Amino acid sequence: MATPTQRPLHLRPHLLARGYSSDEVQRARRTGDLVTVRRGAYLGRGDERLHIPIARHAVLVHATLPTLAPGAVISHVSAAVLHGLDVWAIPLDHVHVTRPDASGGRVGSTVHRHVAPLDATEIITSPDGILVTSLLRTVVDIARTVPFEQAVVVADSALETDPTLTPAALAAALRRATGWPGVPAARRAIAFARHGAKSPGESRSRIAIARAGLPVPQLQFPVQLAGGVAVTDFGWADHRAVGEFDGVVKYGRLVPPGQTPGDVVFAEKIREDAVRAQDYGFARWIWDELDDFAPVAERIAKAFRSPSHIPPPRAHPIDR
């Protein structure tokens, strides 16, 4: 997760202790010099974290810590944010915490409190001293409580974040939750998780490809070129075809220093031509096409060099 330039989080008690009056704090809020993150916690005008949902949520977590009861552990999507995982389409309006109590789960105005057993091995301390569920436990908790696509995005991201993590380790962590709510759904999502998806768009593309009944692609597929290797998002070696998901990030905030988005687009075109020159079919798609993937699936099928071997469209097991 990109970390914006850090500026202080202003807590109302600290501002008053530094000599600011209550009226001055209220006036700063009215003028927009202070922007409320939660009651009694503010960021200054222009802080870019206000415009980046995961960064703003991380600030909300820090602002909420002083209000939490002893023993509360940051969990679920809040833990995922602190672990730097991709979280797509999961609400970020509440700080999620878990306590190993027998009862008492509830959703408040800012805090969603879960109650569930917590083993000591499932709790870690973040670099800034916050108790947070481990990466494995975080993935399991999310997979039990969010829809399939969102869960796959998080699980794929966890596998990319920690290269030593394996699907088998995720499955083992899930077994500890046997009998808990949401385990069947979690099992389905974790079984689909794989190394190699570099973004939410690539994870969602994997799901769309499976639902379209296309053959399972190899992720981060290498194509040998005359001057090196081009690594593509998806590849079907048997059909000499590749696929590329074009996200906004590729042409936006991750443009290399000294280059413009136009430079990146031109380089991508040169790269695509070089791959095609090796007799590979090529299909591209963008974020807006993921919800209605049928036209993309047709483009992918047309890119296959051996169409007679393409299996007919079918319902994928993930939808049964």
What's the CATH code of the domain at 314?
3.40.960
Task: Tell me, yes or no, whether 102 and 10 share the same domain.
Answer: no
Tell me: the pLDDT tens digits for 132-189? 999 999 999 999 999 999 999 999 999 999 999 999 999 999 999 999 999 999 999 9
Is 21 within the bounds of a domain? yes
Radius of gyration of the chain (CA): 23
| pLDDT at residue 213 in the model | 97
Whether residue 223 is predicted with pLDDT greater than 90 in this model: the reply is yes
Is 61 within the bounds of a domain? no
User: What is the span of the domain harbouring residue 19?
Assistant: 1-51
Task: Tell me, yes or no, whether 282 and 242 share the same domain.
Answer: yes
Starting at the edge strand that comes first in sequence, how are the strands of the sheet with 131-133 ordered?
106-107, 111-115, 95-99, 73-74, 131-133, 123-125
The token duo for 295 is 């036209």
Task: Tell me, yes or no, whether 89 and 179 share the same domain.
Answer: yes
Task: Tell me, yes or no, whether 105 and 134 share the same domain.
Answer: yes
Using alpha carbons, select from 56, 75, 77 the residue that is nearest to residue 124: 75
Task: Tell me, yes or no, whether 27 and 110 share the same domain.
Answer: no
Tell me: the pLDDT tens digits for 186-203? 999 999 999 999 999 999
* Residues 118/73, Cβ–Cβ less than 8 Å: yes
Task: Tell me, yes or no, whether 170 and 78 share the same domain.
Answer: yes
Residues 221-242, mean pLDDT to the nearest whole number: 96
Task: Tell me, yes or no, whether 160 and 211 share the same domain.
Answer: no
Q: Does residue 2 or residue 140 have the better pLDDT?
A: 140
Task: Tell me, yes or no, whether 87 and 165 share the same domain.
Answer: yes
Q: Which residue(s) pair with 243 in the sheet?
A: 234, 283
Is 267 within the bounds of a domain? yes
Tell me the percentage of the chain whose pLDDT exceeds 70: 89
Is 221 within the bounds of a domain? yes
Is 59 within the bounds of a domain? no
Whether residue 259 is predicted with pLDDT greater than 70 in this model: the reply is no
Tell me: the pLDDT tens digits for 11-62? 999 999 999 999 999 999 999 999 999 999 999 999 999 999 999 999 999 9
Helix (H, G, I), strand (E, B) or coil at 177: coil
Distances (CA, A) of 165 to 38, 128, 209: 35, 23, 24
CA distance 89 to 94: 14
* Residues 136/173, Cβ–Cβ less than 8 Å: yes
Tell me the percentage of the chain whose pLDDT exceeds 90: 82
Is 116 within the bounds of a domain? yes
- Which of these three, 134, 160, 192, is where a domain ends? 192
| pLDDT at residue 260 in the model | 75
- Which of these three, 146, 166, 192, is where a domain ends? 192
| pLDDT at residue 227 in the model | 85
Tell me: the pLDDT tens digits for 244-256? 999 754 444 555 6
**Number of separate domains in the chain:** 3
Helix (H, G, I), strand (E, B) or coil at 242: strand
CA distance 6 to 69: 27
